[in-house]
Amino acid sequence: MDRLALTLIELGAVVFALGLLARLAGRIGMSPIPLYLVGGLVFGAGGVVELSGVRDFAHLAGEIGVILLLLMLGLEYTAQELVTGMQRSWQAGCVDLVLNFLPGAAVALVLGWGAVGALVMGGVTYISSSGIVAKVVTDLGRLGNRETPTILAILVFEDLAMAVYLPILTAVLAGVSFLGGLQTVAISLAVVSVVLLVALRHGHHVSKAVHSENSEVFLLNVMGLALLVAGLASAMQVSAAVGAFMLGIAISGTTAYNASQVLAPLRDLFAAIFFVAFGLNTDPATIPPVLGWALALAVVTALTKVVTGWWAAGRAGVGVPGRARAGAALIARGEFSIVIAGLAVTSGAVTGELAALATAYVLLMAILGPFAARFVEPLVRAVRGPRGPRPTPARVPF
C-alpha cells in the first residue's frame, strides 16, 4: 500500500479512536488522559498492533500539542494575577515543591538513573495537572468554596516554577556545560521578567496586534505567533513551551478569552495526539518491572499533596473538611508530567525505563486524583462524626 495512504488510514483510525476514548471517559466521569496513554501503548512499539506510518506525524503534532497546552494555560492568567498569586502563595508553593519533588528524585537515584533522571522524575512527581484539577473543582461545584483560592494559588506557583524548571531541564538534557546552563537559566529568567513587565504595562498592545474580528484571521494570527515565539525560544535554548506560556500571559482581556475559545478544539486535538505519541514510544513490556515503584510513588506523593493542600488551606483559615478537599484536589498528575518525561525521552539522555515509570505513575494519579477529590469529604465527615453544637453541661447542685 502507498505510504501516504497508509499514514492517512492510520491517522484517521487513531483520531477516531481518541474520540471514542474521550466519550468513554466522559461517561465514567474521569480525565481522558489515561485512556489516551493506554491507546498509545496498545498501538506503539511492543503493543498489540504497531502503527509505524503515523509515528513521524505524531511526533510533530505532539510538539504542537505541548505548545498549545502551555499557550492556553498562559491565556488563563493575567500578569497581575500571576504577581498577586506569587505573593500570596510562595510559602505554600515552596512546601509543595520540597514535599513532591523529592520522592521522584529519590526513586530515580535509587534506580541508578543519576542526577539527570532525578531532575526529570522530580518534575514528574511535583506538578499537579491544572487541567484535571480545574475540571474536578468545576464538576463538583466547588468554585465558590473557601479552599478554592488556595488551590488556584498553588497551581499558579507551580506554573511559574515550570517557567524556570523547563529551561534548566532543557539545558541539562542537551548536555551543556555548567556555565552554559547558568546562561540558559539567566536568559530564561530575563525573558520571563521582560514578558511580565510588558504584559503588566503594554499587554493591550500585544492583544491588539493579534486581535481581529474575522475568526479566520484571528486564528492564524494567534497560532502563527505562538509557533513563532516557541521556535525563537527554542533557538535561544529556552523551552518552546515556556515561550508559548509567556505569550499567553501577554495576551489579555477579551482577546485572551476569544483566543481560548478559538484554540480550544485545536488544543484538544493536538494534546490528545501528544499523549498517544508518548504511549507509542513506550514499550508496554517495560511497565511491569517499574509498576511497584509507580505504586509506591503514587501513595507517597498523594499523601504529600494532601499535606500541602491541608497546610496551605489551614493557613488561610479554612476548616478541616475544606483542608481535606484542598489536599485531595491537588493529587492528580497529568499533562505536564508527561511533557517533562517526553522532553527527557526525546533527548535520549534518559533510559526508556523512565518513560515506563512516568507512564504508569501518571495513569495511576490521573485516575486516583478525581476519585480522591470526590470521596474525601464524605470520608472526613465519617471519621470525624457529626459536628453539631455542643450541649450545655447541666448545672450540678451543691
| pLDDT (0 to 100) of residue 132 | 81
Q: What range defines the domain where residue 367 resides?
A: 9-382
| pLDDT (0 to 100) of residue 200 | 67
Q: Is the Cβ–Cβ distance between 34 and 362 less than 8 Å?
A: yes
Q: How far apart are CA 270 and CA 241, in angstroms?
A: 14
Listed in sequence order, the residues at least 6 apart from 43 whose beta carbon sits closer than 8 Å to its beta carbon are 14, 49, 50, 51, 276, 279, 280
Any domain includes 397: no
| pLDDT (0 to 100) of residue 394 | 47
The crossing angle, in degrees rounded to 10, of helices 253-280 and 178-210 is: 130
Any domain includes 388: no
| pLDDT (0 to 100) of residue 129 | 85
Please calculate the CA angle 104-109-110 and round it to the nearest 5 degrees: 95
Listed in sequence order, the residues at least 6 apart from 260 whose beta carbon sits closer than 8 Å to its beta carbon are 72, 75, 76
Any domain includes 33: yes
Q: Is the Cβ–Cβ distance between 241 and 282 less than 8 Å?
A: no
The single residue listed with the C-alpha cell 506554573 is 159
Listed in sequence order, the residues at least 6 apart from 227 whose beta carbon sits closer than 8 Å to its beta carbon are 64, 67
| pLDDT (0 to 100) of residue 390 | 47
Q: How far apart are CA 368 and CA 333, in angstroms?
A: 9
Task: Provide the number of structural domains found in the chain.
Answer: 1
Any domain includes 183: yes
- Secondary structure letter of residue 252 according to DSSP: -
pTM of the predicted model as reported, rounded to 2 decimal places? 0.75
> Among 367, 392, 354, 329, which residue's Cα sits nearest to residue 116?
354
Any domain includes 389: no
Any domain includes 398: no
Any domain includes 212: yes
Any domain includes 46: yes
| pLDDT (0 to 100) of residue 39 | 82
What CATH number has the domain bearing residue 343?
Answer: 1.20.1530.20
| pLDDT (0 to 100) of residue 181 | 62
Q: How far apart are CA 320 and CA 208, in angstroms?
A: 46
| pLDDT (0 to 100) of residue 396 | 44
| pLDDT (0 to 100) of residue 153 | 82
CB atoms within 10 A of CB 163: 25
Question: Which residues in the chain show pLDDT less than 50?
Answer: 388-398
